[in-house]
């Protein structure tokens, strides 16, 4: 989750200001960038317990060691280092200590690979010296909710108290899930609308392709993506696939209005979080917020508020696709490759839009409900999502071919789609692979996943 504190102090006059803020993210196509964010669970090499922040060799010590190695600036919350900021990328903590790299905006997927390789190298250098390992999985395979620590970040305390009021699985989302997301640009309002509709319609497919969380508290529980299951009842006022995306007239102002109906979490002032859980941002705009009497919302407050909405495809000044489980490095790259290929070539985007056009909003919701259980084998028309995957990946591959961004070996970005192409042709997903290991060589011992999945 993003760190708050946007410094834009302009007072919000009305929803048109908010739409203009979102629209200011438009950029020419030749300036498009790719940003990848990915999370991993920490575990003790001895015993596999999730590390706390405070303990010797824990998450706090890891951040200190990373800071000493990289020279990055600490991000502080009441004296606690809760992240590190480099020149363009940053490291941050999710509520249960999940470790996240928020990657820099990069020109191509080859640079994304280099960034990911450097991150893995950092972890492999620093973590074992502290007795730690890191495994990128969608849902913690063994820990119970009570086993997970909480990081010393003010907004997480507010969220922990609020989540049980609005859903049954919000605390699991906070403490026991990890994701990988890709952040991509748009050039106009119509371009944003097309990209969000395509990405929203295809999020169930992405969830199926990247399913990587088949275990719950030490055993299979019938789901291929427990992370995706969690998101079906976290806080439905701020998550899922909002209907507004598919309605006539959707654009920046329509999305801003949807955000205004998302209940608030907090107001951030001078390093402190003021509890505004459940309050209306519209009241804040009018100066009627109980948490800050008489104050009116600023554009920075709106930017912070936008980070507390969790749709499967989120709009800030760029588009975030958020429907995938975290997974092994080549799958993280494949996530970025999939959306880059579709979004950053006009012919590919048009083809993807035509492909999903027959899917109704209700079709998309039904798929989202089904894929946590049946994954890539979920029925779709006369076939399955695997059939759709072949078509979508062909479109993405053509888009990457047209981009013609090559590495030193002369390979273009299509090389990063190979793990997904294998799945589309019948190879197991990550979740199916782990289930085969559980029922085979592991002899029912889920803890063996930590060594095999570790970065």
Q: Is residue 293 part of a domain?
A: yes
Asked if residue 7 belongs to a domain, the reply is no
Please count the other Cβ atoms lying within 10 Å of the Cβ belonging to residue 65: 18
Give the integer Cα–Cα distance in Å for 446 and 435: 9
Asked whether the beta carbons of 224 and 429 are under 8 A apart, the reply is yes
Distance CA 96, CA 411 (A): 39
Task: Look at residue 61 and tell me if it is in a domain.
Answer: yes
Q: How confident is the model at residue 3 (pLDDT cuts 50, 70, 90)?
A: low
Which residue has tokens 């109980």? Answer: 290
* Residue 386 structural domain: 15-453
Q: In the prediction, which pLDDT does 1 show?
A: 55
pLDDT on residue 14: 96
What is the distance between the alpha carbons of residues 428 and 210, in angstroms, rounded to a whole number?
11
Look at residue 161 and tell me if it is in a domain: yes
Q: What is the CATH number of the domain that holds 112?
A: 3.30.590.20
Q: How far, CA to CA in Å, does 55 sit from each of 63, 134, 355, 440, 441?
A: 13, 17, 52, 36, 34
First vs last Cα of the chain: how many Å apart?
Answer: 21
**Residue 4: its pLDDT value, please?**
58
Beta bridge partners of 84: 74, 91
State how far the alpha carbon of 209 is from the alpha carbons of 146, 147, 315, 390, in Å: 30, 29, 23, 11
Which residues partner with 29 through β-bridges? none
Residue 6: inside a domain: no
Dihedral through CA 187, CA 191, CA 192, CA 193, nearest 10?
A: 160
When pLDDT is averaged across residues 168-181 and rounded to a whole number, the result is 98
Give the model confidence (pLDDT) of 385-442 as tens digits: 999 999 999 999 999 999 999 999 999 999 999 999 999 999 999 999 999 999 999 9
Query: How many domains in the chain?
Result: 1
pLDDT-above-70 percentage for the chain: 99
pLDDT at 208: 98
The predicted-structure confidence for 223-244, as pLDDT tens digits, reads as follows 999 999 999 999 999 999 999 9
Q: Classify residue 273: in a domain, yes or no.
A: yes
> What pLDDT sits at residue 335?
98
In a domain, 31, yes or no: yes
Stretch 79-94: mean pLDDT, rounded? 96
Question: DSSP of 94-160, one letter per residue?
Answer: -TT--EEEEPPPBSSHHHHHHHHHHHHHHHHHHGGGGTEEEE--SB-SS--GGG----S-HHHHHHH
Task: List all residues 6 or more positions away from 59 whose beta carbon is below 8 Å from its beta carbon.
Answer: 42, 51, 52, 53, 93, 97, 99, 149, 151
Q: Give the pLDDT confidence score for residue 7 in this predicted structure.
A: 76
**5 part of a folded domain:** no
48-81: pLDDT as tens digits: 999 999 999 999 999 999 999 999 999 999 999 9
Residue pair 447/437 in contact by the 8 Å Cβ criterion = no
For residue 290, the number of C-alpha atoms closer than 13 Å in the C-beta half-sphere is 8
Kindly state the tokens that stand for 308. 């507390």
CA neighbor of 18 nearest in space, from 249, 297, 264: 297
Q: Dump pLDDT digits (tens) for 292-342.
A: 999 999 999 999 999 999 999 999 999 999 999 999 999 999 999 999 999
Q: Tell me the average pLDDT of the chain.
A: 97
Task: State the pLDDT confidence band at 95, using cuts at 50, 70 and 90.
Answer: very high
Average pLDDT (136-144) is 98
pLDDT of residue 266: 97
pLDDT at 5 (0 to 100): 55
């Amino acid at each position: 989750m993003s760190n708050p504190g946007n410094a834009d102090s302009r007072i919000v006059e009305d929803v048109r200001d908010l739409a203009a803020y979102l629209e200011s993210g438009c950029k020419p196509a030749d300036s498009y960038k790719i940003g990848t964010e990915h999370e991993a669970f920490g575990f003790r090499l001895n015993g596999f317990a999730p590390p706390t922040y405070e303990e010797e060799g824990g998450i706090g010590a890891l951040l200190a060691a990373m800071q000493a190695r990289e020279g990055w600036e600490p991000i502080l919350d009441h004296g606690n280092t809760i992240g590190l900021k480099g020149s363009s990328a940053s490291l941050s903590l999710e509520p249960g200590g999940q470790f996240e790299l928020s990657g820099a905006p990069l020109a191509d997927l080859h640079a994304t690979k280099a960034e990911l390789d450097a991150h893995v190298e950092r972890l492999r250098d620093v973590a074992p010296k502290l007795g730690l390992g890191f495994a990128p999985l969608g849902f913690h395979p063994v820990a119970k909710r009570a086993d997970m620590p909480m990081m010393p970040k003010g907004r997480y305390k507010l969220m922990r108290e609020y989540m049980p009021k609005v859903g049954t699985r919000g605390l699991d989302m906070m403490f026991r899930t990890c994701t990988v997301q890709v952040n991509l640009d748009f050039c106009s309002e119509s371009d944003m609308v097309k990209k969000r509709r395509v990405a929203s319609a295809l999020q169930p497919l992405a969830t199926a392709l990247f399913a990587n969380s088949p275990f719950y508290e030490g055993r299979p529980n019938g789901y291929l993506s427990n992370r995706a299951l969690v998101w079906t009842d976290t806080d439905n006022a701020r998550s899922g696939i909002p209907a507004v995306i598919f309605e006539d007239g959707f654009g920046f102002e329509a999305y801003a209005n949807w955000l205004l109906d998302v209940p608030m979490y907090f107001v951030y002032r001078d390093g402190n979080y003021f509890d505004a859980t459940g309050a209306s941002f519209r009241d804040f705009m009018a100066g009627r917020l109980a948490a800050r009497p008489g104050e009116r919302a600023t554009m920075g407050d709106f930017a912070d508020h936008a980070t507390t909405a969790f749709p499967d495809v989120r709009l800030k000044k760029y588009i975030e696709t958020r429907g995938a489980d975290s997974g092994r490095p080549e799958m993280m790259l494949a996530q970025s490759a999939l959306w880059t290929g579709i979004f950053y070539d006009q012919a590919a985007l048009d083809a993807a839009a035509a492909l999903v056009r027959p899917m109704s909003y209700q079709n998309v919701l039904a798929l989202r409900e089904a894929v946590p259980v049946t994954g890539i084998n979920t029925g779709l028309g006369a076939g399955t999502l695997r059939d759709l995957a072949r078509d979508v990946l062909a479109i993405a591959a053509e888009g990457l071919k047209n981009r013609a961004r090559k590495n030193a070996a002369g390979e273009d970005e299509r090389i990063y789609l190979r793990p997904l192409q294998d799945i589309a042709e019948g190879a197991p997903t990550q979740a199916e692979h782990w289930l085969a290991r559980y029922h085979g060589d592991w002899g029912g011992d889920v803890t063996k996943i930590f060594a095999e999945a570790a970065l």
